[in-house]
């Protein structure tokens, strides 16, 4: 019998590129109807791997509501990864001093977070009784253990080194988290840009231990007050500030919706992963993403 590893290592079918001329010729030959006969795998599935995606929903109970819980969780994981991808692209451009170019991945990241927030709607039907029908079967499984969510927090500057400990027995996952933890966050890269642009930031802001969460500084706040004082169309740093604010706001919305979902389905019960549940989430929301962007508004 063929093993999963053997199936994975099999030669993969690639999508065959086509030109505009080829597509037009095909449409003419089909009289405007879609192509129904393909050689081998359907091209859409070759690209999207839809058949693989739809094979990953393996519920633990016979309760039909569990499918919603599982699939929404998987959708959120994909959005975590997509948002991380955009934030890393933003970091690459920031390190090249391309502030204008950075706006595009940041805006996409904010939109992905908006989609992530919308995913919570798929669980609004769930009452404590609905969740309890399969909750025990999850054991200690908890969203707290999402490695990709931890990457997202680290990229946004929320850093607690101890939170990577659950992944020590997954060497590749652990190593990737260590790398994200030890390298600058998006906010660190933004502050490095401000320093290169001549803003008077202390060395403690740009030359520091990145595994430790950034502490708000008056100098950083003053820099943003100065940036926002120029509302001209060519002030790319102000546009950068607004793009970052949208990312932070959407992420804050996700954390609040998470708390709401937990309160709706669990009340004040302890979490599956050993935390205090809603109380733990409430405390974590006090940590602000891009803090000086918010505090500077008081002085503007």
135 is annotated as contributing to ligand binding = yes
State CA 14 to chain mean position distance: 28
Nearest to 141 by CA among 79, 84, 73: 73
* Rounded (to 5) percent helix, strand, coil in the chain: 65, 0, 35
* CA 72 – CA 204 distance, rounded (Å): 41
Per-residue tokens: 159: 């850093």
Whether the Cβ atoms of residue 253 and residue 117 lie closer than 8 Å to each other: yes
258 is annotated as contributing to ligand binding = yes
Nearest to 244 by CA among 292, 284, 197, 198: 292
Nearest to 63 by CA among 125, 146, 140: 125
31 in the Ramachandran plot: left (φ > 0), alpha (ψ -120 to 50) or beta?
left
Nearest to 194 by CA among 161, 227, 216: 227
Kind plus residue range of the DSSP H or E element containing 99:
helix 99-119
Nearest to 41 by CA among 3, 17, 12, 19: 12
CB-based burial label for 44 (10 Å; 0-12, 13-18, 19+)? exposed
Compute how many other C-beta atoms are within 10 angstroms of the C-beta atom of residue 292.
23
* CA 226 – CA 224 distance, rounded (Å): 5
Which positions make up the binding site?
135, 258
* Known binding residues for heme: 258
- Please state the residue numbers annotated as binding site for substrate: 135
């Amino acid at each position: 019998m063929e093993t999963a590893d053997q199936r994975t290592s099999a030669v993969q079918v690639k999508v065959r590129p086509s030109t505009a001329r080829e597509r037009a010729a095909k449409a003419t030959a089909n009289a405007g109807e879609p192509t129904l006969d393909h050689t081998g795998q359907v091209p859409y599935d070759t690209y999207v791997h839809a058949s693989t995606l739809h094979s990953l929903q393996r519920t633990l109970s016979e309760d039909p509501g569990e499918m919603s819980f599982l699939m929404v969780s998987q959708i959120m994981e994909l959005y975590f990864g997509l948002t991380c991808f955009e934030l890393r692209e933003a970091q690459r451009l920031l390190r090249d001093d391309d502030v204008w170019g950075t706006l595009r991945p940041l805006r996409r990241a904010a939109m992905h977070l908006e989609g992530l927030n919308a995913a919570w709607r798929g669980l609004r039907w769930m009452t404590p009784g609905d969740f309890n029908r399969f909750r025990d079967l999850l054991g200690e499984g908890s969203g707290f253990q999402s490695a990709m969510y931890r990457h997202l927090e680290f990229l946004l500057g929320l850093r607690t080194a101890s939170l990577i400990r659950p992944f020590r027995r997954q060497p590749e996952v652990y190593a990737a988290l260590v790398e994200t933890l030890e390298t600058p966050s998006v906010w660190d890269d933004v502050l490095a840009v401000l320093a290169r642009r001549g803003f008077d930031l202390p060395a403690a802001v740009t030359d520091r231990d990145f595994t430790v969460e950034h502490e708000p500084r008056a100098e950083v706040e003053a820099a943003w007050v100065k940036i926002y004082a120029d509302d001209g169309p060519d002030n790319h740093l102000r546009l950068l500030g607004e793009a970052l604010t949208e990312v932070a706001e959407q992420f804050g919305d996700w954390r609040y919706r998470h708390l709401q979902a937990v309160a709706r389905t669990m009340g004040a019960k302890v979490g599956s992963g050993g935390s205090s549940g809603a109380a733990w989430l409430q405390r974590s929301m006090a940590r602000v993403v891009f803090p000086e962007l918010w505090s500077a508004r008081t002085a503007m």
